[in-house]
A and B are shown apart, each in its own frame.
Chain A
Amino acid sequence: MYILNRRRFLQVGSLASAAMMMPKFLKAFESGALVPPGNKVLVIIQLSGGNDGLNTIIPYRNDIYYRSRPALGIKRETALSLSDELGIHPSLDGLKALYDEGSLAVLNNVGYPNPDRSHFRSMDIWHSASQSNEFWNDGWIGRYLDAQCNGCDKPTQALEIDDTLSLALKGDHNKGLALTDPGRLSNTSNDKYFKDLLQQHAHEDEHHSVEYLYKTMAETISSAAYIQQQFKTYQSKENYPATELGRNLRTIANLVMSDINTKVYYVSHGSFDTHVNQQDQQARLFKQLSEALTVFTGDLKKNNRFQDVAVMTFSEFGRRVSQNASGGTDHGTANNMFLISGGLKKQGILNDGPDLMNLKEGDLQYKVDFKSVYATLLNKWLSADDQLILKQHYEKMDFI
């Protein structure tokens, strides 16, 4: 029996009103899958600037670690203990609590073959999921949209909480949408002149670039209205920290708790580029991360959504094993990732910690290709064809 539930009703309703102002050719993209299958949501937190993984998950039993970082090493007694071998940075106490309750998984030694130490190039590789000698102009979330959203209605399936869109969310045919504040986006795109322009547009040649621009414009205007409408339906009562990340996670929580069709949220936190005076800067950024995530996960739990939301953190590379002369670290290679959810199948420390005995020119060697993590999340969490999206087969993991 077909039941028109509230979720579906709201979406049909909002689409009907948006569709009225659309020229005929544009109505096509308003049809199609209204809600993607499943209820799962992925939140990606990018730790920009190359976070020092060795001072994040600390191998506090390892002499090489302390020898390489006489000033910068985190002392055994200050690190928060996760296991006999590994501790977590003292400022990440919120993550330690998630670890204790079984909602956090740590993946060590994540990287990719032939690592690149340039921020922009390495970030490109993480965004596009290409090999390190390939240059792709689309991102893995963008290609997820291409695969899942062929002919579907809105780019709201993947949202970046930012003013501009990252490569990760740019597909060949579909692109995610960037916004910092649903209200501001809606104001900007609500300009009467833009709506009039859209209405008077009568061109019908789909191959012409002008159609692409009008289509993007129409999607933006209708998406902005849709997001704003959904955003109003739930306002968190939790006390989020007054940091940029706190505000952004609050925006995400409000949307996750609404009936919006968004599957992927993307947000950046940084900069972790700690060549000098690393300790203070990393501790400050970690504190912000920890506090924001504590409130965010608490909010999800209260609303019974924590089972359906997975948070993934990553950084474009880790730092070198040895500290440098200015109280910081330089660009390195392999790093760790956090996975946070009420729905993890495996929790805790998923694999061995860093192997400091087998460095390559002073750098950690990766054991897990990050694309395996992507493949796992795409396939098992988002029910998508990971091989199509990543253009290659990668081993899937069992944390979800």
Chain B
Amino acid sequence: MPVVAKKVEMQHLAWRAGFGETLPVITEWEKRRRKEIVNKVLIGPKRAELESVDVINATDLPDYKRFRDMTEEQKKTVREMNTQGIKDLNVAWLNMMEKSEHPLREKMSLFWHGHFACRTQDVLYNQQLIGVIRENALGNFGDLLSAVSKSTAMLQFLNNQQNRKQHPNENFAREVMELFTMGRGHYSEMDIKEAARAFTGWGFDDNGTFVFREKQHDDGEKIILGKRGNYNGDDVLKILLDQRQTATYITTKIFRYFVDDTPDQALIESLSDKFYQSGYEIKALMREIFMSDWFYDSKYIGNRIKSPVELLIGIRRTIPMAFEQEELMIAFQRILGQVLFYPPNVAGWPGGRNWIDSSSLMFRLRIPQVILYSQVLNIRPKEIAPEMGDGGNYKMTLQINDFLKRQFAKKVNARINWDPYIQGYSDIPRESLADEIAGVLLQQPGNIKKALLEKYADTGSREGYIKTVTIDVMSTPEYQLC
């Protein structure tokens, strides 16, 4: 196995288990043992409480529970609060990813956010779902699965509110099996029908709290994956977790997200065995991956295409900035093809080469200049398709679309705080600056020739030099990779 330098190893870890780190952090990590750093990455800062990304309280919404009884004017207010709330939630989570001292938790949450893909127009439901995801992101997969399955957002999105003894609705049971646990081809249509019966009665009340409606539950006998009993929803989840296939399916997805697009069957088998044995402890699985020598094989280094959110957060973690209009980040996400809380479908974002086409790549290459030189945003993102909820509140998506339109041809105004970044290079002699900058921003730095960076650099001052070289390094295809 080709061995890479310790510094590259630590940068690899920083990107895969987070959103990249700056030169001073990497320099510090380089001095320590792998085990120590992996522990630090897994556990986060000591005694750090989980900071929520909540943007609204249920009580902030006027008469929220009785939407149907409201006047048009009141409904309008509620819709506007929801629209604004989902935008705020998007921005709040991005800020959390950027500033977090426990980036793996946010990275892992981003993974689960795609895995448990869900769209809802209700800010509180969204907030509740992202809350349980972040809370359990590195915990036990069984707990996570249960919490997500009982979240109002998911029960609503997958129509389990309509799943009743007399009229079973199979949507929820189908997606729980196909997308959340086993993957296609490992269960029969009959298993779905029977599981749907077990999930009857699972729903939520006006407060958005999970309720088991006993009268609507079918308590008869069911046969699910060869097991027979008077099962309820909890039993189904347990049966699904008992299947080794669930461990294999989840591990494969984690491997593709954290290691490589092309699954390595032998590695996945061994990882998923341990995952299963551990009773689905996510942190243990991640430790296994990050501690393995194969994880640092040069074939995996810098071969993964950053998702749009990773790319944006990576830039913002490197160079702190504050946007005059934070919501601009939603337009960026839209152009690049990943809007938080708006996954493309129940299967989530496909990722990998799917992120890249001519227009998204050219925009990616221009982002550092657009932000750091305050250029005009002259790309019009496509509209977000609204959903028809029971309340008919599709209007809020139209408002987001209006907002996206208004960003067109506007200058991107951000206060860029270059000082800490430039400070990070204070010990580096001028002649090695270009190589050092490329060395920390890129995982395969040798590909960008120093001569090219020199050609486009501002050589007037040390500061100007660092800035221009940084922007140019960030504007390369190599920077799209981690």
A48–B383 touching, CB < 8 Å: yes
Known: A124-B345, A197-B476, A213-B481. A220 touches B361 (CB 8 A): yes
Q: Please report the C-alpha to C-alpha distance between residue A162 and residue B383 in the assembled complex, in whole angstroms.
A: 12
Instruction: Determine if A165 is an interface residue (Cβ-Cβ < 8 Å).
Output: yes
Q: Name A192-222 residues within 8 Å CB distance of B.
A: 193-194, 196-197, 200-203, 208-210, 212-214, 216-217, 219-220
By the criterion CB–CB under 8 Å, are A220 and B362 in contact?
A: yes
In contact, A119 and B361 (Cβ under 8 angstroms) = no
Expressed in whole angstroms, the Cα–Cα distance for A100 and B394 within the complex equals 39
A273 within 8 A of partner (CB): yes
A199–B482 alpha-carbon span in the complex (Å): 22
Q: Collect the chain B residues with CB atoms within 8 Å of residue A200's CB.
A: 448-449, 452
Interface residues of A in 220-241 (CB under 8 A from B): 220, 223
Does the CB pair A193–B472 fall under 8 Å?
yes
* Residue A9 lies at the interface, judged by CB distance under 8 Å to chain B: no
Q: Given A193-B475, A200-B449: A119 and B362 within 8 A (CB)?
A: no
Given A119-B387, A135-B345, A213-B477, also A163-B303 (CB < 8 A): no
Q: Does A76 contact B (CB under 8 A)?
A: no
Q: Is the CB of A273 within 8 A of B481?
A: no
- Which of chain B's residues have a CB closer than 8 A to the CB of A14? none
Q: Which chain B residues numbered 301 to 335 have a C-beta less than 8 Å away from chain A?
A: 302-305, 335
* B354 nearest CB neighbor, chain A only: A137
Residue pair A178, B477 in contact (C-beta under 8 Å): no
Instruction: Assess whether A196 is in contact with B455, with CB atoms less than 8 Å apart.
Output: yes
| A47 at interface by CB-CB < 8 Å | no
Measured between beta carbons, the chain B residues less than 8 angstroms from A118 are 385, 387-388
Checking B394, B452, B478, B480 against A273 with a beta-carbon cut-off of 8 angstroms, the contacting residue is B394
Given known pairs A135-B345, A164-B379, A193-B472, the reply for A213 and B358 (CB within 8 Å) is no
State in angstroms the CA–CA spacing of A180 and B462 once bound together. 40
A: number of interface residues (CB 8 Å): 53
Instruction: Judge whether A120 is part of the interface by a CB distance below 8 angstroms.
Output: yes
Q: Which residue of B lies closest to A120 (CB)?
A: B385
Which residues between 25 and 59 of chain A lie within 8 Å of chain B, taking CB atoms?
Answer: 48
Contacts of A213 in B (CB 8 A): 305, 356, 361, 477, 480-481
Q: Tell which of A193, A197, A216, A217 has the most Cβ of chain B within 10 Å.
A: A197
Instruction: Report the nearest B residue to A166, measured CB to CB.
Output: B382
A93 at the interface (CB under 8 A from B): no
Are A178's CB and B452's CB within 8 A?
Answer: no
State in angstroms the CA–CA spacing of A331 and B388 once bound together.
Answer: 8
Q: Are A209 and B360 in contact (CB under 8 A)?
A: no
Closest A residue, CB atoms, query B119: A120
Known: A210-B481, A212-B353. A217 touches B361 (CB 8 A): yes
Would you call A271 an interface residue if the criterion is a C-beta within 8 Å of the partner chain's C-beta atoms?
yes
Given A184-B378, A220-B362, A273-B394, A165-B477 contact (CB < 8 Å): no
- Would you call the interface of chain B mostly helix, strand, loop, or mixed? loop
B478 neighbours in A (Cβ, 8 Å): 210
Q: Is A250 at the interface (CB under 8 A from chain B)?
A: no
The reply on A189 being an interface residue by CB < 8 A is: yes
Q: Which residues of B contact A202 (CB under 8 A)?
A: 447
Does the CB pair B447–A165 fall under 8 Å?
A: no
Alpha-carbon gap, A180 to B398, bound state (A): 22
A353 to chain B, nearest CB (A): 26
Whether A330 touches B388, Cβ cut-off 8 Å, given contacts A162-B382, A210-B478, is: yes
Q: Using CB atoms, name the residue of chain A closest to B455.
A: A196
The reply to whether the CB of A155 lies closer than 8 angstroms to some CB of chain B is yes
Sort chain B's interface into a size bin: 35 or more
Residue A121 lies at the interface, judged by CB distance under 8 Å to chain B:
yes
Chain A: minimal CB distance from B70 (Å): 15
Let me know if B365 and A217 touch, CB within 8 A.
Answer: yes
- In Å, the complex CA distance between A208 and B300 comes to 10
What is the chain B residue whose CB lies nearest that of A184? B378
A320 to B147, CA, bound (A): 36
- Cβ B358 vs Cβ A216 within 8 A: yes
Select which of A170, A209, A330 is within 8 A of B354 by beta carbon.
A170
Which residues of chain A (272-319) have a CB below 8 Å from chain B?
A: 273, 275
Q: Does B347 touch A at the CB level, under 8 Å? A: yes
Q: How far is the CB of B421 from chain A (nearest CB, A)?
A: 21
Cα distance, A108 to B180, chains bound together (Å): 39
Report if A123 contacts B (CB, 8 A).
yes
Interface residues of B in 108-135 (CB under 8 A from A): 119
Check A177 for interface membership: any CB of B closer than 8 A: yes
Closest chain B residue to A331, Cβ basis: B388
CA distance in complex: A194, B304 (Å): 21
B394, A275: Cβ atoms under 8 Å?
yes
Let me know if A165 and B388 touch, CB within 8 A.
Answer: no
The answer to whether A135 and B347 touch across the interface, beta carbons within 8 angstroms, is yes
B95 in contact (CB, < 8 A): no
* CB contact between B344 and one of A120, A162, A164, A165 (< 8 Å): that residue: A120
| Residues of B with C-beta under 8 A to A189 | 362
A209-B353 CB under 8 A given contacts A165-B358, A193-B472, A200-B452:
yes
Say which residue of B346, B358, B472 sits within 8 Å of A220 (CB atoms).
B358
- Residues of chain B with a CB closer than 8 A to A167's CB: 344
**B387 contacts A188, CB within 8 Å?**
no
Contact of A212 among B356, B381, B382, B449 (CB under 8 A): B356
Contacts known (A197-B452, A209-B303); A178 close to B358, Cβ less than 8 A? yes
B394 to chain A, nearest CB (A): 6
Which residues does chain A contribute within 8 Å of B455, judged by CB atoms? 196
Other A-B pairs, 18, CB within 8 Å; known A184-B378, A213-B481: A48-B383, A118-B385, A119-B387, A123-B385, A135-B347, A164-B335, A178-B358, A196-B456, A201-B447, A210-B302, A213-B305, A213-B356, A213-B480, A216-B361, A219-B358, A223-B358, A273-B386, A330-B388
Pairs A–B under 8 Å by Cβ, sample size 11: A119-B385, A155-B358, A177-B358, A188-B362, A197-B477, A209-B481, A210-B477, A213-B356, A220-B362, A223-B358, A331-B388
- Residues in chain B within 8 A of chain A (CB atoms): 119, 302-305, 335, 337, 344-347, 350, 353-354, 356-362, 365-366, 378-383, 385-388, 392, 394, 398, 444, 447-449, 452, 455-456, 472, 475-478, 480-481
Interchain residue pairs A-B with the least CB separation, the first 8: A119-B385, A213-B477, A120-B385, A220-B358, A135-B347, A137-B350, A178-B359, A175-B357
List residues of A whose CB falls within 8 A of some B CB: 48, 117-121, 123-124, 135, 137, 155, 162-167, 170, 175-180, 184, 188-189, 193-194, 196-197, 200-203, 208-210, 212-214, 216-217, 219-220, 223, 268, 270-271, 273, 275, 330-331
